């Protein structure tokens, strides 16, 4: 992590806790906090420590993230959402981490690897209700897994994932498929979950689920006035430079001054998650919205200043420029704006 750099990320503890409490209260379910991909770029360990007291389970994509959480003393249950190569099943067991299972063949491979262990490996069965990514599609496949008799394996959870939570017809179809399989199994699971952020906000949950599984909403970057953005990102103008009429700025001379212009140079670029498509969008400096001009470089970018004497503090993402607006400029989704912010940027929790 960079200590000696003026580009940094601020994480609001209050906003994170507020958002977690909102989803628990609104859904009346327990909370699975999705903190995969470095907690959506917010910082896995920082977010894990803040959310542990208000979460019932953490969901991550990789076993590595799960182990990192255990190593800093996180005690609550952890589930790995991505498929795990069976070779690593013992590591999961050693750190008391739950794994997602999507087929009987996979289940048998896990059993083989952990055959000499004392405690059972805890698993969540994934139901594919239409995403066509992971999970079983039929109740007979699900039954084969649930009824597979092994002292070494314990299926403690069952879940599915909505692929188009803003579409009522498609979501109702997924609800029905999940419900039919769940009922056919007639099993008491400790964890039954289906709703991610937009599914929870659209109220697609069913009575028999126990948890909601929330990512984006925890970070406050979904279209809801009930949540608060958690992340902001700042940098500093390190150099102010006057470019004269018709001079150009940066690689490929992309920006050409139409008049004598003050330019600010910031120590962050595409290797800091501010990708080249950010050219043309605004940052906020001293009460002014200032345009990023020229091609963004690997470690620096240039902004057009209203005059020489603006202060040097720059908001790249924050109260004046939301991740949602930036996503629109980049023609992507807000998930991508934050998850690409790399771990080397300092995170300050406030």
Ligand X SMILES: Cc1ncc(COP(=O)(O)O)c(C=O)c1O
Please tell me whether residue 236 binds ligand X under the rule CB under 6 A.
no
Q: Which residues contact 2 (CB under 8 A, 6 or more apart)?
A: 344, 345, 346
C-alpha–C-alpha distance, residues 261 and 160, integer Å:
55
Binds ligand X by CB under 6 A, chosen from 213, 236, 304, 347: 213
CB atoms within 10 A of CB 27: 18
Please tell me whether residue 217 binds ligand X under the rule CB under 6 A.
yes
Q: For 17, what's the count of Cα atoms within 13 Å in the CB-facing half-sphere?
A: 11
Q: Is residue 251 among the annotated active site residues? A: yes
Instruction: Please state the closest distance from residue 218 (CB atom) to ligand X, in A.
Output: 8
Residues in the chain: 350
C-alpha–C-alpha distance, residues 324 and 334, integer Å:
5
Please tell me whether residue 216 binds ligand X under the rule CB under 6 A.
yes
Please tell me whether residue 44 binds ligand X under the rule CB under 6 A.
no
Please tell me whether residue 268 binds ligand X under the rule CB under 6 A.
no
In the complex with ligand X, the residue whose CB is nearer, 161 or 304, is 161
The residue at minimum Cβ distance from ligand X is 215
Please tell me whether residue 81 binds ligand X under the rule CB under 6 A.
yes
Please tell me whether residue 122 binds ligand X under the rule CB under 6 A.
no
Instruction: Please state the closest distance from residue 102 (CB atom) to ligand X, in A.
Output: 12
**Residues touching ligand X, count (CB under 6 A):** 11
In the complex with ligand X, the residue whose CB is nearer, 114 or 221, is 221
Q: Hey, what are 323's tokens?
A: 């991740």
Query: Angle at Cα 159 formed by Cα 60 and Cα 224, nearest 5°?
Result: 70
Please tell me whether residue 237 binds ligand X under the rule CB under 6 A.
no
Pick from 215, 232, 221: nearest CA to 20: 215
- DSSP for 147-176, please give it: T---TTEEEEEEE---S-TT-HHHHHHHHH
C-alpha–C-alpha distance, residues 231 and 225, integer Å:
16
Instruction: Please state the closest distance from residue 229 (CB atom) to ligand X, in A.
Output: 14
Strands 8-11 and 57-60: unpaired
Which residue of the set 24, 29, 36, 236 is catalytic? 36
Binds ligand X by CB under 6 A, chosen from 15, 34, 99, 266: 34
In the complex with ligand X, the residue whose CB is nearer, 217 or 250, is 217
- DSSP for 311-345, please give it: -SEEEEESSSS-HHHHHHHHTS-HHHHHHTS-TTS
In the complex with ligand X, the residue whose CB is nearer, 34 or 268, is 34
Which residues ranging from 149 to 208 are in contact with ligand X (CB under 6 A)? 161, 196-198
Q: Which residues are catalytic?
A: 36, 251
In the complex, the residues that contact ligand X under the rule CB under 6 A are 34, 81, 161, 196-198, 213-217
């Amino acid at each position: 992590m960079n200590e000696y750099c003026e580009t940094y990320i601020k994480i609001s503890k209050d906003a994170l806790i507020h958002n977690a409490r909102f989803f628990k209260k609104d859904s009346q379910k327990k909370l699975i906090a999705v903190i995969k991909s470095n907690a959506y770029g917010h910082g896995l360990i920082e977010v894990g420590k803040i959310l542990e007291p208000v979460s019932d389970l953490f969901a991550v994509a990789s076993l590595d993230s799960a182990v990192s959480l255990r190593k800093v003393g996180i005690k609550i249950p952890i589930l790995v959402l991505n498929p795990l190569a069976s070779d690593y099943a013992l590591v999961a067991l050693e750190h008391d981490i739950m794994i997602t299972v999507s087929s009987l063949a996979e289940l048998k491979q896990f059993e083989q690897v952990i055959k000499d262990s004392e405690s059972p490996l805890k698993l969540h069965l994934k139901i594919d209700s239409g995403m066509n990514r992971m999970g079983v599609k039929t109740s007979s496949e699900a039954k084969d897994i649930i009824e597979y008799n092994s002292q070494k394996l314990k299926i403690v959870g069952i879940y599915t994932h909505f692929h188009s939570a803003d579409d009522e017809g498609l979501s109702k179809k997924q609800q029905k498929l999940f419900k039919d399989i769940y009922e056919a199994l007639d099993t008491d699971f400790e964890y039954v979950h289906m709703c991610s952020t937009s599914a929870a906000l659209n109220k697609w949950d069913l009575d028999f689920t126990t948890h909601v599984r929330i990512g984006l909403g925890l970070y406050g970057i979904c279209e809801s006035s009930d949540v608060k953005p958690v992340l902001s990102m700042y940098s500093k103008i390190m150099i102010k430079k006057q470019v004269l009429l018709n001079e150009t700025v940066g690689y490929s001379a992309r920006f050409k001054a139409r008049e004598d212009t003050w330019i600010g140079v910031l120590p962050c670029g595409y290797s800091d998650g501010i990708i080249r498509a950010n050219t043309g969008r605004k940052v906020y400096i001293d009460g002014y919205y200032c345009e990023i001009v020229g091609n963004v470089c690997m470690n620096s970018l240039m902004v057009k200043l209203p005059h020489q004497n603006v202060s040097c503090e720059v908001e790249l993402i924050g109260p004046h420029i939301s991740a949602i607006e930036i996503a629109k400029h980049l023609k992507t989704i807000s998930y991508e704006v934050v998850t690409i912010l790399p771990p080397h940027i300092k995170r300050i929790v406030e």
